[in-house]
Amino acid sequence: MPEPLDQENLTNRDTIIRLAQKVFRHHPNLVAQIETPMGPVVIKWFGWRSPIRFYLSPTLPGRAWTSWEVAQALDKVAARTPRPIYIYTRRRHGFIIENYLISASINPHQTLRVFLKSDASRHMMEKAVKDLALSIARMHKGGIQHRDFTTANFLVNEQGEVYIVDLNRARLRRCLSNKRRLTDLARLNFNARNPELGAHLSHLFFKVYRAETGIAIDWEKGYRIFRHRWQRLKGWKKRLRRPFRRK
């Protein structure tokens, strides 16, 4: 573990917040940047979205462990993700009580969502989208399905390099069918600061993705079909949850 951090302090959310130079997220997962002699690191302390997931935890690997395994797999296929440094999981009678991951910090950075809306040059945006397409194509060729490709789950550094984060939902498979690839890609949103730029970046992404994967199908058409399905399903889920939300 990076000094001067210690296991006892990092099992306490309040202590992590006190030590943090920056807190990126509070709930349900706490994500914070902490300075160490080796440089800034990010700790992700996994919380629970619902009691059901806690009660199922004896049957599942910890999310920190899943993130660690997927990060190692991404490194093997040359897809960018922050370097994992340390993981910790404590169970009681099989139930996960504490669970966190420490990784290297990409500092400074913007999320891809913010970057696409920024005043970055067209050249820099093209560079970032090409880098994104290469990483995702290599990830998919390696049998890794992310399962949460929102633009908030990609970090863009000052050089236009893109890092894949939030790996705890990912799955390692022998190979990915085109359907699973498109299910992953359907969550990507190429909304940029104007529609013309967004359409251009989307076309560029799939051009690079197709060339890297070597699979000659109409990825753009498939993306539009699967994204429409995903948006419709998302709308149904929102309507079903609405009566149960607190007012």
Kindly report, residue by residue over 54-85, the tens digit of the pLDDT: 999 999 999 999 999 999 999 999 999 999 99
Strand order in the sheet with 95-104: 22-25, 30-34, 41-45, 95-104, 84-92
Going from the N-terminus, what domains does the chain have, and what CATH number goes with each? 9-104 (3.30.200), 110-241 (1.10.510)
Q: What local confidence, expressed as pLDDT, does residue 57 receive?
A: 94
Q: What local confidence, expressed as pLDDT, does residue 31 receive?
A: 96
Kindly report, residue by residue over 134-190, the tens digit of the pLDDT: 999 999 999 999 999 999 999 999 999 999 999 999 999 999 999 999 999 999 999
Tell me the three state secondary structure of residue 96. strand
Query: Terminus-to-terminus CA distance in the chain, angstroms?
Result: 43
Kindly report, residue by residue over 105-144, the tens digit of the pLDDT: 998 999 999 999 999 999 999 999 999 999 999 999 999 9
The C-alpha atoms of residue 160 and residue 156 are separated, in whole angstroms, by 6
Q: Is the pLDDT of residue 6 over 90?
A: no
Band (pLDDT 50/70/90 cuts) for residue 246 is low
